[in-house]
Each structure stands twice: as C-alpha cells, then as structure tokens.
Amino acid sequence: MNVREALPEEMAAVGELRVAAYRDLGLLEEGDPYTDSLRALGSDGRGEVLVAVEGERVVGTVLLVPWSESSEIARGPEEAEVRAFAVAPDAQGRGVGRALVRAVIASASGRGATRVVLSTQPPMLAAQSLYRAHGFVRTPERDWTPVPGVDLLTYALALTDRAACATPAPQAVAQG
C-alpha cells in the first residue's frame, strides 16, 4: 500500500469511496443532500487530498485543509483540519486508516501546523479509536451541529510535542 497525494484523475473515485464508506456506516442515505458535497471535498484545490492506494485502486482517503476564514473548527493559522476520512468498506481492518492518519499528521506538521483538529460522528467508533491511538484528544468545547440531527464530536492533536511529526509521511506501508 502506498499513501500519496491524489491525482486529478482519481478525484471521482475518491468521492465515490467517501460516499460508499459513509453509507456503509449508515451515516449517509440515498438522496442525502450532503452526498454531493462529500464527493467534491478537495476537488476545488483547497486542501490536500491524500489517498491510500493498493495496486491501481484507491482504498482510503483523507483531506487536510489549512485554516481559513471559512474553517469549520480550526481557530487560527496554526491549526489544520482533517476532513472526509474514509476507508473502503472491504479494505477496513488492514492498516489503511492507520497509514492515512500518520500521513495526514506528517503533512500537517510539514505545512507548519502546530495543531490538527477534526470532527467525527458518534457512530464512527473505529475512527475515534484510531484518532485516540495517535494522540488525538476530545475537545468537547468545539463539538457542533452543522444541521439538525447531525451532532459532531471534535478531537485535536498538538503537534509541537510529537517527535513523530518530524518523520515524513509513510510512502509504503506493509499490509498486516
């Protein structure tokens, strides 16, 4: 497996992977108005779309977005947001998510961020466990509800105290 920046011609596959992963978790129903937004995240060039690739197939993705006036939970230029983290349902449990989290942390650090923030939905238990395993801590003061019925939990990771942040993003990760 290789983790790298997405190629422009992969963005449609990235969008479909996100939708499939969210639907698999029961977080996105057919006709949900968020579907098109989820597919398109990062395709406007805002942020860095990372992908995990096995052979020719994209099996996971995550988006790193630097702070801006339109940031959802980042509060200043020292923070970057992680968004649209998704692993193909048939690729889960094989280290894809772990490789993506490591890569997005390394990328944020390399871009000068000192803190990484993210939102997750309560049913995303595997993702929350993965975030905690990498040092993210809950920040309930930032929890928010973008639309009625969608409650988001927030997590943050301080990069300044992490020696691992100086390590480049993994380019090849053994399956295990």
The chain-wide mean pLDDT, for the chain, equals 91
Q: Is the pLDDT of residue 64 over 70?
A: yes
* Residue scoring higher pLDDT (168 or 93): 93
pLDDT at position 163 is 46
d(CA 134, CA 145): 25
Q: Please give the average per-residue pLDDT across 47-59, as a whole number.
A: 97
Assign 84 to helix, strand or coil: strand
pLDDT digits (tens, 9 = 90+) for 5-50: 999 999 999 999 999 999 999 999 888 989 999 999 999 999 999 9
The number of residues in the chain equals: 176
d(CA 89, CA 60): 9
Helices (H) and strands (E) in the chain, counts: 4, 8
pLDDT at position 161 is 59
Residue 61 and residue 18 in contact, taking contact as beta carbons nearer than 8 Å: yes
